Amino acid sequence: MRHAHTAAEVRAAEEPLLASLPPGALMQRAALGLAHAVIDFLGGAYGRRVLLLVGPGNNGGDALWAGAYLARRGASVHAELLADEVHAEGLAGLRAAGGTAAGAEADRRWRASEIDVLIDGIVGIVGRPGLRPSAQRALCRYPGVPVVAVDVPSGVDVDTGRLPGDHVRADLTVTFGSHKIAHLVAPAAEVCGAVQLVDIGLSLPPAAVRSLQAADVARLLPRPAESGHKYTRGVLGVRAGSATYPGAALLCVDGAGSGLAGMIRYQGAAADAVRLRHPEVVGEGRVQAWVVGPGSGEDAGQALAACLADDVPLVIDADALAHLDGPLEVPAVLTPHAGELARMLGVERESVEQDQLAHVRRAAERYQAVVLLKGPRTLVADPSGEVLVNVTGTGWLGTAGAGDVLAGLIGALLASGVMPWQAAGIGAWLHGAAATRAAQHGPLTASVVAATLRATIGDLLHPGAERS
């Protein structure tokens, strides 16, 4: 599990460590980890030209001390000082190691084309979002230079993932002690590049924002008992599709038919097409969970009411989302995209896209349900405020019908007994991992993602097993 802490949580964890270590020791740990990450990024230090953009405070100090280490390893290091007062010990250390420094308005030492990497030490995790004009001007002088950010790209909103103003776009972000929310939550996550964590010895509590990793998903996947049968493994009901959109029913059942539930029951206008493709699917009867809404059209409200009457967990997707009017009394996973979530909350889509974490939490509280906000970094919020961020997937997953597959997959997990928050998080992870696997062979469609789910799940259940 990857944990993303707030700036305040990280600072609180640093305090006892700072009190127990010699002055400057914690910064030296961070700077050494940063320097090694830069060396790996460049493929070496000797002969490289490294430019530091240095602001006030400890973030600038980390950059200066890392620059000193790189200079001792044979790099040519120069710091542009973007503030009247920077970390004095770090600046002295850089100069003692052979590096140079000058104010931001001094003559440039190098042209952009001569620089191998720019280290962003402008603003740290306690800085205000956005950049001052001096920092903006400095960045504009070096277009196209690869950027390594110290802790977070300067200018991002660390605790929300928002991008409220000008900011750095990094190729690599080296962070200390813990991931920060901006590393996981879009849109800020999209400007972090690759994120490398340096362990500096912090003792941190569990975070409210987390990300599942492969080992977590493998541990949480339902496994049938040796004495189990189709009913004990869970029966999923699917109410999806219509005469206008029969494909939505097929794709939803494709996702549900990943093998995680023991039986699927389908009710809807596309029954003949579903059974032709999935002869194992049956009709009416008792279920342990429902999926409702994909492609349901004008019948979505009636279908939702029928599912709610069964008093079992359900996944509410697409057309059915428009028929929600308040807190739900059964366990549920709602799966809107940004436009649908905006309508559910009565706000503009742009507002949701700019502050995704706040809006998905607000929706989960309002509807008293798990809310999965689909996007490049899908968020899964519980009414308690806890959030899972999905980091699997590929841009090819932005394709028609992919959400129908995801709804069916989450429904199968619910029917098998997985709790809603975990079912949504596991489903999003598997969906993204299957898409990434399928995209190795080129562009994909939703049907291809669904067809890749079983192999993706099998690799988690039986790692290292040979597959035909």
CB count within 10 Å of CB 1 equals 12
- 62 labeled part of a ligand binding site: yes
Contact 101, 91 (CB under 8 A): yes
Query: Is 337 known to sit in a ligand binding site?
Result: yes
Q: Is 398 within any annotated ligand binding site?
A: no
- Tell me if 127 is assigned to a ligand binding site: yes
Q: Across 382-466, where does the E strand assignment appear?
A: 387-389
Does 216 belong to an annotated binding site?
no
120 is in an annotated binding site: yes
> Is 427 known to sit in a ligand binding site?
no
Buried b (16+ CB within 10 A) or exposed e, 21-37: eeebebbbbbbbbbbbb
> Distance between CA 277 and CA 222 in Å, rounded?
25
Q: Are 444 and 401 contacting, i.e. CB atoms less than 8 angstroms apart?
A: no
Say if residue 242 carries a ligand binding annotation: no
374 known ligand binder: yes
- 310 assigned to a ligand binding site: no
Q: Tell me whether residue 403 is annotated as binding.
A: yes
Q: Is 404 annotated as a binding residue?
A: yes
- The vertex-308 CA angle with 307 and 314, nearest 5°, equals 70
Q: Is 44 annotated as a binding residue?
A: no
Q: Is 126 annotated as a binding residue?
A: yes
**Residue 411 marked as a ligand binder:** no
> Is 376 annotated among the ligand-binding residues?
yes
Whether omega for the bond prior to residue 187 falls within 30 degrees of 0, making it cis, is yes
234 marked among binding-site residues: no
Residue 380: exposed, middle, or buried by beta-carbon count in 10 A (0-12, 13-18, 19+)? buried
Confirm whether residue 361 is marked as ligand binding.
Answer: no
What are the phi and psi torsion angles at 380 (to 5°)?
-125, 110
Q: Is 325 annotated as a binding residue?
A: no
Query: What CA–CA distance (Å, rounded) separates 242 from 253?
Result: 14
Q: Is 390 labeled as ligand-binding?
A: no
Ligand-binding site membership of 224 (annotated): no
What separation in angstroms does the CA of 185 have from each of 162, 347, 388?
8, 20, 10
What is the spatial distance between Cα 93 and Cα 67, in angstroms, rounded to a whole number? 9
Residue ranges of the binding site for (6S)-NADPHX: 58-62, 124-130, 151, 248, 295, 337, 404
* Binding site as annotated, residues for AMP: 374-378, 403
Q: Residues at the annotated binding site for K(+)?
A: 59, 120, 154
Could you list the residues known to form a binding site, using ranges.
58-62, 120, 124-130, 151, 154, 248, 295, 337, 374-378, 403-404
